[in-house]
Amino acid sequence: MFNSMKWLNEPPKWQDNGDSLTLHTALETDFWRETHYGFIRDSGHFFYREVTGDFTVAVTFSGDFTTLYDQAGLMVRANERTWVKAGVEYSDGALQLSTVVTNGTSDWSLRPLASSRNEVTLQLSRQANAIHVSYLEPQGPDSRWSSLRLAYLPLDDRPCQAGILACSPTRAALRVDFTDFRINPSHGIDLHPDDGHGPATSDN
């Protein structure tokens, strides 16, 4: 599942269990560029694979998100100035769905997590210079994919990096467990899916 992947900022403790991966974050780790805070952080833990063309990357994850700005999820990255990260982030005393789009400088958007569970299934789909962020939203006994963000990321025809991330800007030792990680060729971005089917099974 995690074959042929590399670390940007390897965490102090992590384990590949074959069908899952567990990590513990280092102190004061984050990805951010300038906006409002004025600083640049490129110290978060990012486990990635090089990808070309259009693709969908997806994962299910959970963690002990209890401290301000604890976060985990997925990232698509061209370089330190051009990237998208999306997942969950602890803010305002609750776990929120979060997306940060960085084109030189970062923005940040939040949405309350509808479920009280901290397990989230998330996917990012690339089509040319567009990134679609969606998550699996519980609806009664079933679930369906819901859109979180459609973002512009100037990748052109360049390869990029796609994978999982975790950060803890205000502490250390956030534990996150990742399962069902997969990267597959994309068949285009579907902004209005009419059923609950997810991405195709992994070819890893």
pLDDT digits (tens, 9 = 90+) for 56-66: 999 999 999 99
Buried b / exposed e along 105-136 (16+ C-beta atoms within 10 A): ebeeeeeebeeeebebbbbbbbeeeebbbbbb
Instruction: Give residue 115's pLDDT.
Output: 66
pLDDT surpassing 60 at residue 1: yes
Average pLDDT over residues 42-46: 98
| 116 φ, ψ (degrees, to nearest 5) | -80, -15
d(CA 166, CA 75): 10
Range in 106-110, 138-142, 147-151 the model is least confident about: 138-142
199 inside domain = no
103 inside domain = yes
Average pLDDT over residues 133-150: 86
Q: What is the mean pLDDT of the chain?
A: 91
127 inside domain = yes
pLDDT surpassing 90 at residue 137: no
CATH of the domain at 106: 2.60.120.200
61 inside domain = yes
Domain of residue 111 covers: 6-185
158 inside domain = yes
- In the chain, how many domains are there? 1
| Single pTM value for the model | 0.92
Instruction: Give residue 139's pLDDT.
Output: 66
143 inside domain = yes
